């Protein structure tokens, strides 16, 4: 087998991690314990695992993939008037320790009491463009914020569960 693979006389263990030999890096982060995402400000969906930090050159691009599940935390028919919760999920990039800038956002609708309280699974995919990454350390975060059109605002939240992120850094 090693002769076919062109590594005659070498075991695969002898090569170690060659993730950077082609200029491609793959990084990931997950959160497993459920937590609440509320209104008023963006919350990191990566929790203690993120943001994902990458060392990039000015010509690199990042391919960001994220998936997860949102739940109505009440999971019952009690509570405010039935309606929907809008969850905005964004990919944000910070260059060399600076503030995060949103580079992509999508909205997802989660029904709250009175509707079907089933989980809402979602996934997102985004590729950075030239200039969104800089040479040096870049941090990528996935953040969410809840909003509702209910009046008065009942202060609704959603629960984020089973989320995972993958970032692939590759030269252009």
The full set of domains in the chain, from first to last, is: 24-171 (2.60.120.760)
H helix intervals, the chain: 2-5
At 144, the pLDDT band (50, 70, 90 cuts) reads confident
The pTM of the full predicted model, rounded to 2 decimals, is: 0.73
Average pLDDT score over residue span 88-110: 84
Average pLDDT score over residue span 37-42: 79
Task: Dump pLDDT digits (tens) for 57-98.
Answer: 888 888 999 998 888 765 544 555 556 677 788 888 888 778
Is the pLDDT at 29 greater than 50, yes or no?
Answer: yes
> What integer pLDDT is reported at residue 127 of this predicted model?
92
Average pLDDT score over residue span 31-35: 75
Distances, alpha carbon 47 to alpha carbons 85, 138, 144, in Å: 21, 18, 11
pLDDT greater at residue 16 or residue 43: 43
Mention every residue, 6+ apart, whose C-beta is less than 8 A from residue 18.
none
> What integer pLDDT is reported at residue 162 of this predicted model?
84
């Amino acid at each position: 087998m090693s002769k076919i693979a062109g590594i005659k006389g070498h075991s695969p263990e002898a090569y170690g991690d060659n993730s950077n030999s082609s200029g491609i890096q793959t990084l990931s982060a997950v959160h497993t314990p459920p937590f609440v995402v509320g209104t008023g400000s963006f919350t990191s969906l990566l929790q203690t695992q993120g943001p994902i930090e990458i060392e990039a050159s000015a010509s690199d691009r990042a391919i960001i993939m994220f998936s997860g599940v949102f739940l109505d935390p009440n999971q019952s028919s009690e509570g405010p008037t039935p309606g929907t919760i809008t969850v905005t999920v964004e990919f944000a990039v910070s260059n060399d320790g600076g503030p995060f800038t949103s580079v992509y956002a999508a909205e997802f609708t989660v029904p709250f009491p009175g509707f079907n309280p089933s989980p809402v699974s979602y996934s997102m995919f985004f590729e950075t463009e030239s200039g969104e990454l800089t040479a040096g350390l870049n941090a990528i975060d996935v953040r969410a914020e809840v909003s509702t059109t209910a009046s008065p605002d009942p202060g609704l939240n959603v629960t984020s569960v089973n989320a995972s992120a993958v970032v692939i850094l590759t030269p252009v």
